[in-house]
Amino acid sequence: MSFKNITTFIQQTFDTEAFIPLHEPRFTGNEKKYLNDCIDSTFVSSVGKYVDIFEKEFARTVGSKYAIATVNGTAALHISLLLADVKKEDEVITQPLTFIATCNAISYIGAKQIFVDVDLDTMGLSPDSLKSFLETNCELKGNACINKTTGKIIKACVPMHTFGHPCRIEEIKNICDIWNIALVEDAAESLGSYYKEKHTGTFGKVGAFSFNGNKIITSGGGGAIVTDDENLAKRAKHITTTAKIPHSYEYVHDEIGYNYRLPNINASLLVAQLEQLDNFLKSKRELTLKYKKFFSTNNEIKFIEEPKDSKSNYWLQTVLLNDKIKRDEFLDFTNKNGVMTRPIWRLMNELEMFKDCQCTDLKNAKYLEERVVNIPSSVRV
Question: Alpha carbon of 379 to those of 5, 14, 277, 350: distances in Å?
Answer: 22, 10, 10, 33
Q: How far apart are CA 163 and CA 267, in angstroms?
A: 24
CA atoms within 13 A on the CB side of 297: 7
Per-residue pLDDT at 1: 67
Per-residue pLDDT at 203: 98
CATH (residue range 3-25+277-348+358-375): 3.90.1150.10
What's the distance, CA 250 to chain centroid?
A: 37
Q: Where are the alpha helices (DSSP H) in the chain?
A: 3-13, 31-41, 49-62, 73-83, 100-109, 127-137, 169-178, 230-240, 264-275, 277-295, 324-336, 363-369
Handedness of CA 17, 21, 26, 32 (dihedral sign): negative
Total-model pTM? 0.97
Domain ranges of the chain: 3-25+277-348+358-375, 31-275
CATH (residue range 31-275): 3.40.640.10
Per-residue pLDDT at 34: 98
Q: Describe the crossing of helices 73-83 and 230-240 by its angle, rounded to 10 degrees.
A: 130
- Phi and psi for 71 in degrees, rounded to 5? -70, -25
**Contact 121/308 with Cβ under 8 angstroms?**
yes
**Contact 41/315 with Cβ under 8 angstroms?**
no
Mean pLDDT in consecutive groups of 10 residues from the start of the chain, 381 residues: 92 94 97 98 93 98 98 98 98 98 98 98 98 98 96 98 98 98 98 98 97 97 98 98 93 96 98 98 98 94 97 98 97 98 98 98 98 97 80
**Contact 160/113 with Cβ under 8 angstroms?**
no
